[in-house]
Structure 1
Amino acid sequence: MAIDGDAGRCVSAEIAAGISPAAALFHSLADENRLRIVARLARGEARVVDLVGELGLAQSTVSKHLACLRGCGLVGYRAEGRQSFYSLTRPELMDLLGAAEHLLAATGHAVELWPVHASRAAAGAPAVLAHLDPPVGEAVS
């Protein structure tokens, strides 16, 4: 899948040919950088400059991935002066990623796709090293 720089949406030959909305949703989440952005936005809104600094990605890369996620309806923004603050628009996305974590753990590929919140920890969710959401200031290998 490539990002259409002009339209800012995730596109591929399959999507252009009429791929189903379900497949398009999973295509939008198939990129590790987009998953890292989603994981960061699960903690709260952020500006592009915040995401660039925290994730160690180029500004153009962050902007294109945000445009893709916006095109899929998963991310929105609010303007404050000349700044845009991005946030997740669909809380159901966290349920989907939580289900994916359980599925991956069941298949022997445990990973944490979104930050552990107090409610998850209280529910007994396993604490797994998150390779998609490193602490602020740490580089991703």
Structure 2
Amino acid sequence: MALAKQSQNSRPIFPKSFLLLVGALLIASVTIVVFNTSPGTHFQDRLALGEAVQEREIVISQKGMGVIDIFDAQTGAKIAVFNDKKGGFVRGAMPALKRLRLVNDVPQDEPYRLVQWESGGLTLEDTAVKKRFYLNAFGKDNAASFASLL
């Protein structure tokens, strides 16, 4: 009997106003994430990178062991050839780029988009998978190997 009276007089652990506030914050957080990461928005990119200064769509083709040909996607002209002595970062990135497309079941010959931004940033966008890679994060020399393709 004493337990029944005690539970009737006890207060809830969390007040109703606190639970409503937590719920509102949760809804706001989910809304911000959904709208900020929707395809084509890139709100944070526009703030951090500015406008595109130069861009080029490229097709990367790997022949045999370590030889990579880079073509302009628009004209089909060969831009560069990287063998085992050249383009170490480009060649090193190939397994990860190929795997990403393999996992997502998209063709390997779809173009990538290289973009030089007014902030100095350089990105490589996988047009087939809709992923963007910030090449400056890998160091100045590594980014320069891709920048030479512009």
Greater RCO, CA 8 A, separation 6+? 1
User: TM-score when scaled to structure 2?
Assistant: 0.24
More strand by share: 2
